[in-house]
Amino acid sequence: MLILKHIPIRSFNENIAYINKDCSIYKVDNIKTLTRVEIHGGKKPVFAFLQVVENSKIIRPDELGLNSEAFEQIELSEGSKITLTLTPSAQSLQAVKRKIAGNILSSKDYCLIADDIANNRYSNMDIASFLVAMGSFVTPSEVLDLTQALRGDKNLDWGGEEIVCDYHCMDDIPANKVDLIITALVSAYGLPMPKLVLPSLNSTIGVLDAMKVLANVEVDARSLKKQVLERRGAVASLENIDICAADKIICGVERQNGLSTLERAVASMLANKLAAGITHLLVDIPVGIRSKIKTSQEAMRLRKLIEYVGDMLGLNVDVAITDGSEPIGSGIGAALEARDVMNVLKNKEEAPDDLREKSLFMAGRILEFDPKLRGGQGYLVAKELLKSGKAFDCFQMIVKTQGKKEPAQLGHLTRDIVADKSGSIVRINTALINRIAILAGAGQYAGAGIDIFRKSGESVTAGDILYRIYSCNQNDFAFVSSIIESGKTGFEIE
Amino acid sequence: MLILKHIPIRSFNENIAYINKDCSIYKVDNIKTLTRVEIHGGKKPVFAFLQVVENSKIIRPDELGLNSEAFEQIELSEGSKITLTLTPSAQSLQAVKRKIAGNILSSKDYCLIADDIANNRYSNMDIASFLVAMGSFVTPSEVLDLTQALRGDKNLDWGGEEIVCDYHCMDDIPANKVDLIITALVSAYGLPMPKLVLPSLNSTIGVLDAMKVLANVEVDARSLKKQVLERRGAVASLENIDICAADKIICGVERQNGLSTLERAVASMLANKLAAGITHLLVDIPVGIRSKIKTSQEAMRLRKLIEYVGDMLGLNVDVAITDGSEPIGSGIGAALEARDVMNVLKNKEEAPDDLREKSLFMAGRILEFDPKLRGGQGYLVAKELLKSGKAFDCFQMIVKTQGKKEPAQLGHLTRDIVADKSGSIVRINTALINRIAILAGAGQYAGAGIDIFRKSGESVTAGDILYRIYSCNQNDFAFVSSIIESGKTGFEIE
């Protein structure tokens, strides 16, 4: 018996058990590699990986420490008596090895893999292996099996609503915050749209980051249900919602190493939508040389795959292939993007046209899921909802219900990037522009980012402002300035 | 500036930096995933992955903690001032992604990968991704490039010896401790044989475990050189020897997840031999259905690959394909295996024939690397060295030089497994026998394991002892007994 202690360290996805090198019960000096253990004493055994503590300040020889992730799972208080057993690798890793060897896995294999992952029996390494193995080849029916496995058996329930809508974009286009506007439009129409999103990576600004500037996004399942049934819409974090546990863990690994494949992205996306009780889904596939999907052929293959899996699982899916070559909207960075969204919803003159048009187009397609709407009317209905201010009112109600926030301050350090010659803007390097925004601090600070004043195709005169950089801290500002000074602005003028 | 603190946790391969959630300088509440940082202040920057500490007992907001691995690398004392920068993923991970996509990597790619790994810029996840990607396909010339990259630029030097020998077996056959006997024979002949071995996994008993029962195996490079030049032999741990840093880290990952491929094993083995200054190498490829190499075709492919890479890098390689179907020797477990080795060297009657014969055969082939020896004489010379006691004397000198140990006690808990019927032993399930030994505690306790009394092909009468189990602790003993009682003994009698 060892005494349980909470070691308040977050290790990102992995359960870690800390054991003293002179542990009074288990002999650890032979441990030479990451060792899997099962910890008994709680309601169900918790899996963890051992790390050895070399003195007694953090863990005494009669104690076992658990990091925050594992401690939350064991549901015991500190001081509880626990025991330890060495466990072999997760059984389903055999299936991963078969996948590595090039085999097609069965539906049962995928279920076992998802179950082992959900129960923290995979190390991050194991998950990375699985992802790379999936990357070499995977059949459409395997994607279907994986989707079902990831979906799991926990579902959100919307009290018998016949149509529950969502919109999902398969790539991050900088500044593309149509999601918020679409949610406002669809909710204003009266169809429920519970938009649940995972927090974005450190290196991108996601839908949730923009929403966070305006409102609280941590909503529990019960409040979410009440809100969606009353207000018809929500933009909230998926992290607090207990569905698709295995998928959340896999996403954690993908975020870190960028190993995601389109097949995995499809399975993950559809599993989450299904478990979230979505019945009607519009999927946006942006195509562009700097997008994940570079050619229309790829986009078409992806569309077929989404349609196949969606159809097999009874989800009503509509797929739109769109232009992903340039940023949509003006601001990149949470506060600037939120500003763009609000400008569109308030029908302000400075609202970016492209952001408004894309939102109306997408919302229109979603509205047409409603059998009562005549084909082709969706866009016009959406436009009317925007013009009349109904979408704005609805969005305000959503924000109020989730918990309105004080407006975020833009970064106090600014720099204008101007055209170095007169001519026409022939291309905007989206990837570079995005990187400049990140270096300026977007993703870390809500108020950091860049505000783009000119679009591709426009004529400029030398000295015209192309975009403005906002930073919240001197380090970021100095760093991004040095990039700019090296001549990389992201705008090509000819 | 943050204040450096040593957090005495061993995390196995990965550098970890612990930061307080309210860090006074760096904003960490946006950290959602494993984040790479570079720590400045020491001679060279040290890479680590951030983990967030949720209270101030372990790390205060003005401190940065480093786990033992990272702390050893930064070469600063606690209390030193350090700074932190976020770093992007290692550059060479782009090459890993190209490998995942099915491309052939260049020699330069492999060098950059090895360099990034050696400098701890890869997470265990990244390394696992690399290994799985290598698993899908890799050309012989890539194996050559990887070997050179892993070899690195640090080499052991044996003061101008023309022939420096080694023996390497490509799989772990239970109880196969020919390495120790071969070292004794080759050294007794007068050829230098510095046998450097990585500590084995938890789940196998390696050469080093058996040697550890007899002598100290932690020898530094300087003492090793002196010993090999004087005594002509050594069996020591590779861990203390500063060569092939990237390979050691990759091995750590392979140990944990069993992702090693034969190509990686070849590159790793040859890189280590070359860096260890080996000039003449005998490689043993055991073939058997429970071995890593299952067919003679596979063995032949492997032989060609080893010969190709060895020839290209100027190593004199001889490859022997051997029978790997059953255990060689009687004991499985460090003390029992050491006993077998000593019994052979002492010419004792109870010495296992197969262990002696295989050792003589292999040593004979190594001796024939000596141009002065007439072809076909190797085996006879080896036999004479054994019979005369010269090999024993030489081994005793090696043991004495490294530091002789007190003999290990065999486990006090024993159980005899007897034949349940009379007949002939038609097969011994090597994998199961090995597992029983491990469950009995072999690998954890030197004195635990099993001692096999009968071999395949022999006739037995019901009640004859097939093997004896030794355990050092009641838990292990109870567990292995339950396996035996379920009817699984590993011996088939017909």
Chain B contact for A136 (CB, 8 A cutoff): yes
Write the DSSP string, A196-226.
EEPPPPTTS--HHHHHHHHB-----HHHHHH
CB contact under 8 A, B132 and A133: yes
Residues of A in contact with B257 (CB under 8 A): 89, 93, 123, 125-126, 129
Residue type, A239: E
Residue A10 lies in a domain: yes
Same domain, B383 and B292: yes
Residue type, B129: S
pLDDT score of B35? 80
Name the phi and psi angles at A268, rounded to 5: -65, -50
pLDDT score of A202? 53
Angle A24-A27-A33 from CA coordinates, rounded to 5°: 135
Same domain, A227 and A369: yes
Computed on alpha carbons and rounded to an integer, the radius of gyration of chain A in Å comes to 25
Residue B159 lies in a domain: no
pLDDT score of B202? 53
- The residue among A59, A67, A15, A55 whose CA lies nearest residue A36 is A15
Residue B246 is inside which H or E element, if any?
helix B245-257
Contact B170, B246 (CB under 8 A): no
Write the DSSP string, B320-369.
EEEE-SS--SSEESHHHHHHHHHHHHTT-TTS-HHHHHHHHHHHHHHHTT
Residues of B in contact with A202 (CB under 8 A): 30-33, 35
Going across the sheet that includes A413-418, the strands are A331-332, A449-452, A465-471, A413-418
Chain A contact for B199 (CB, 8 A cutoff): yes
Same domain, A302 and A417: no
Residue B160 lies in a domain: no
State the Cα–Cα distance between residues A367 and B485, nearest whole angstrom.
Answer: 67
Task: For B163-211, write each residue's pLDDT tens digit.
Answer: 999 999 998 777 778 999 999 999 999 999 999 998 766 556 788 999 9
- The residue among B120, B126, B89 whose CA lies nearest residue A127 is B126
Name the phi and psi angles at A152, rounded to 5: 70, -160
State the Cα–Cα distance between residues B101 and B136, nearest whole angstrom.
Answer: 10
Same domain, A236 and A279: yes
Same domain, B301 and B392: yes
Q: Which of A129-138, A222-231, B166-175 has the highest mean pLDDT?
A: A222-231
pLDDT score of A95? 95
pTM for the structure as a whole? 0.81
- The residue among A169, A414, A58 whose CA lies nearest residue B6 is A58
Chain A contact for B52 (CB, 8 A cutoff): yes
Q: Which of B15, B16, B26, B34 to mutate to test the interface with A (most CBs of A within 10 A)?
A: B34
State the Cα–Cα distance between residues B438 and B418, nearest whole angstrom.
Answer: 19
pLDDT score of B171? 83
State the Cα–Cα distance between residues A187 and A185, nearest whole angstrom.
Answer: 5
Same domain, A140 and A82: no
Chain B contact for A202 (CB, 8 A cutoff): yes
Is pLDDT at A203 greater than 70 in this prediction?
Answer: no
Chain A contact for B237 (CB, 8 A cutoff): no
CATH of the domain at A341: 3.40.1030.10
State the count of interchain CB pairs (< 8 A) between A and B.
143
Retrieve residue A272's tokens.
Answer: 């989450």
Which of A69, A86, A103 is where one domain is finished?
Answer: A86
Chain A contact for B124 (CB, 8 A cutoff): yes
Distance from CA of B142 to the nearest CA of A (A): 19
Contact A450, A437 (CB under 8 A): yes
State the Cα–Cα distance between residues B393 and A249, nearest whole angstrom.
Answer: 58
Domain count, chain A: 4
Residue A53 lies in a domain: yes
CATH of the domain at B44: 2.40.40.20
State the Cα–Cα distance between residues B87 and B260, nearest whole angstrom.
Answer: 29
What SS3 class is residue A455? coil
Residue type, B155: N
What SS3 class is residue A126? helix
Is pLDDT at A32 greater than 70 in this prediction?
Answer: no
Contact A417, A489 (CB under 8 A): yes
State the Cα–Cα distance between residues A453 and B420, nearest whole angstrom.
Answer: 87
State the Cα–Cα distance between residues B102 and A132, nearest whole angstrom.
Answer: 11
Per DSSP, which regions of A33-158 are E strands? Answer: 36-40, 46-53, 63-66, 81-86
Q: Judging by DSSP bridges, how do beta strands A2-6 and A81-86 pair with one another?
A: antiparallel
Per-residue exposure over A108-138, b if at least 16 CB sit within 10 Å of its own CB, e if not: ebbbbbbbbbbbbbbbbbbbbbbbbbbbbeb
Retrieve residue A460's tokens.
Answer: 């400029």
Per DSSP, which regions of B302-388 are E strands? Answer: 316-323, 331-332
Which of B364, B381, B402 is where one domain is finished?
Answer: B402
Same domain, A105 and A21: no
Q: Indicate the residue of B11, B129, B256 with minimum beta-carbon distance to A257.
A: B129
pLDDT score of A257? 76
Computed on alpha carbons and rounded to an integer, the radius of gyration of chain B in Å comes to 25
Same domain, A100 and A75: no
Residue found by looking up tokens 């490079």 in the block: B221
Q: For residue B11, what are the contacts with CB-CB under 8 A and spacing of at least 6?
A: A51, B67, B68, B69
pLDDT score of B30? 62
What SS3 class is residue A415? strand
Residue B41 lies in a domain: yes
CATH of the domain at A418: 3.90.1170.30
Report in angstroms the alpha-carbon separations of B63 from A8, A11, B336: 16, 18, 49
Same domain, B423 and B386: no
- Residue range(s) defining the domain that contains residue A32: 2-86
Which of B50, B71, B86 is where one domain is finished?
Answer: B86
Task: For A391-436, write each residue's pLDDT tens digit.
Answer: 999 999 999 999 999 888 999 999 999 998 999 999 888 888 888 9
Same domain, B299 and B322: yes
Task: For A51-104, write each residue's pLDDT tens digit.
Answer: 999 989 999 999 999 999 999 999 999 999 999 887 777 889 999 999 988 899
By CA distance, what is B132's nearest residue in A? A129
Lowest model confidence (mean pLDDT) among A170-184, A276-290, A349-363, B303-317: A170-184
- The residue among B402, B356, B311 whose CA lies nearest residue B182 is B356
Is pLDDT at A201 greater than 70 in this prediction?
Answer: no
Residue A229 lies in a domain: yes
Q: Indicate the residue of B34, B54, B132 with minimum beta-carbon distance to A12.
A: B34
Same domain, A375 and A437: no
pLDDT score of A27? 73
Task: For B54-110, write each residue's pLDDT tens digit.
Answer: 989 999 999 999 999 999 999 999 999 999 887 777 889 999 999 988 899 999 999
Retrieve residue A403's tokens.
Answer: 């918990």
Rounded to the nearest 10 degrees, what angle do helices B124-136 and B93-100 cross at?
30
Q: Which residues of chain B have pLDDT under 50?
A: none
Same domain, B218 and B351: yes
CATH of the domain at A101: 1.20.970.10
Q: Average pLDDT in the A454-473 region?
A: 93
Task: For A255-267, write each residue's pLDDT tens digit.
Answer: 877 788 889 999 9
Q: Indicate the residue of A7, A8, A257 with minimum beta-carbon distance to B126.
A: A257
Percent with pLDDT over 90 in chain A: 68
CB contact under 8 A, B12 and A444: no
Retrieve residue B303's tokens.
Answer: 């032989």
Name the phi and psi angles at B404, rounded to 5: -70, 145
Q: Which of A7, A12, A202 to mutate to test the interface with B (most CBs of B within 10 A)?
A: A12
Residues of B in contact with A34 (CB under 8 A): 12, 124, 256
CB contact under 8 A, A100 and B444: no
Contact A237, A198 (CB under 8 A): yes
Q: What is the largest CA-CA distance in chain B?
A: 77
Retrieve residue A402's tokens.
Answer: 């989730």
